Amino acid sequence: MTSFRNTPVLLLVFVFLLTACGAGAVRTVPIALDYVPSKKAQMKVSSGLGSAAIGRFVDSRSSRPAAAAGERVHFNRDIDRFHPKRGVAGSVANIVRGYFAKRKVKILKTDWDGALQSLRSQPGDIVISGRVMELWFSSTDSATMGSASSVFRLVLKVGAPKSGNLITKTIQIKPESKRNIFWESKEVQDWLSRTISEALDRILPSIGSRLAG
């Protein structure tokens, strides 16, 4: 007669092997990205900068899941995939708006795409458009530690409609961290918000002073 005494143990081993070897479930997690001033943020703006027109921002990333800005791989290989509520490009544009709003600069709307030929017809003391070349958060859980890293690369076109001067700048920032607890969605939201905000804090003051100083 066949013995079934080891059946529960065998089932547990089978389930473990399926979990370890197979792809996990993918869960979409919405996050909201907003401007958060960095520790070294320069809050004073040039005296000539009273208004900023926010133009078109485009998601130009490649080899990333559509509309996602990162993912966390759990120990059981399940995946949390983080989707900004305003989309990738819309979220970056929102943080740019937050940068100027925090500094009491009047924000205007435009559909400017960065083209020099249409610069002089734009509103504002400066006008901004951008292409998001990379935005991705990556976190992997292990038995005792979580590791995380991200990359943000942005090409900005900033122009002064009155003078017709146009500046193109690229900035990239790549923070990373390890710790003995894992990254939950609220922390990922904060991580990405701070990463994008810090990049803008680094690049926009010098551009603003050159164009509207």
Is 198 a domain residue? yes
Write down the pTM of the prediction: 0.86
Which domain range does residue 29 map to? 24-212
**Domain membership flag for residue 199:** yes
In a domain, 12, yes or no: no
- Residue pLDDT tens, the chain, 213 long: 444 455 554 444 444 444 445 568 999 999 999 999 999 899 999 889 999 999 999 999 998 888 999 999 988 889 999 999 999 999 999 999 999 999 999 999 999 999 999 999 999 999 999 999 999 999 888 777 778 899 999 999 999 999 999 999 999 999 988 766 777 899 999 999 999 999 999 999 999 999 986
Q: Quick one: how far is CA 95 from the chain centroid?
A: 9
Distance (Å, whole) CA 125 – CA 138: 38
- For position 81, which CATH number holds? 3.30.160.150
42 lies in a domain? yes
pLDDT of residue 75: 84
For tokens 């990556």, name the residue: 138
Token look-up 């400066």 returns 126
pLDDT of residue 180: 65
Strands, DSSP E only, in 60-123?
70-73, 79-84, 106-109
User: Is 169 domain-assigned?
Assistant: yes
* 7 is a domain residue: no
The rounded distance, in Å, linking the Cα atoms of 10 and 29 is: 34
Q: How many domains does the chain have?
A: 1
Is residue 105 a part of any domain in this protein? yes
Contact status, residue 142 vs residue 110, Cβ threshold 8 Å: no
| Residue 9 belongs to some domain of the structure | no
